[in-house]
Amino acid sequence: MNRGMFAALAAAIVVAGASCSPKPTSAPANAGSAISAPAPPGAVSGDSGIYGFSGAKVADGEPQGVIGECVWIFDAADSAQVATGDCGEGAPGKFRVKLSPGRYVVHGPGGNKPIEVKPGGWIKVTSLVALPLSP
């Protein structure tokens, strides 16, 4: 990733983090996806939560993952943060957050996405911000 793309990704992440306001917001069209999926590797039977990928993508490139805090999980009313997802250096952009069954709003670089976690279920979330190509 060149310095210009890295700076744009860092700016997008700061904006995404700042957008974690207590007010409900509508999700943009590119807010990512949330689908029911089998438990991720390492999950214990009966656990539930979310896992997936968080980062940025240019039109003709591969997604680049975030390192550090990469998703923020709020309650169903989108008023209180209840958990944070971290993406490590060994697997940039990949996160796994154990959550109790219930409704949540996931905030990430791609926007805000309401989800429902079922007992023993895992939701796969992809949150990507689209970056413009640099000149």
Q: Which domains does the chain show, CATH number per domain?
A: 3-131 (2.60.40)
Is the pTM for the entire model greater than 0.85? no
Query: Residues 6 or more apart from 61 whose CB is under 8 A from it?
Result: none
How far is 43 from 59, CA to CA, in rounded Å? Answer: 33
pLDDT in tens, 24-73: 333 333 344 444 455 565 566 679 999 999 999 988 888 999 999 999 99
Predicted confidence (pLDDT) at residue 82 exceeds the cutoff of 80: yes
Confirm if 30 and 130 have CB atoms less than 8 A apart. Answer: yes
Which of residues 5 and 40 earns the better pLDDT score?
40
pLDDT at 8: 43
pLDDT band at 76 (very low <50, low <70, confident <90, very high): very high
Question: What mean pLDDT do residues 11-31 have?
Answer: 38
How far is 81 from 74, CA to CA, in rounded Å? Answer: 4
Whether the CA torsion 5, 7, 8, 10 is positive or negative: it is positive
Confirm if 54 and 71 have CB atoms less than 8 A apart. Answer: yes
Question: What mean pLDDT do residues 78-101 have?
Answer: 96
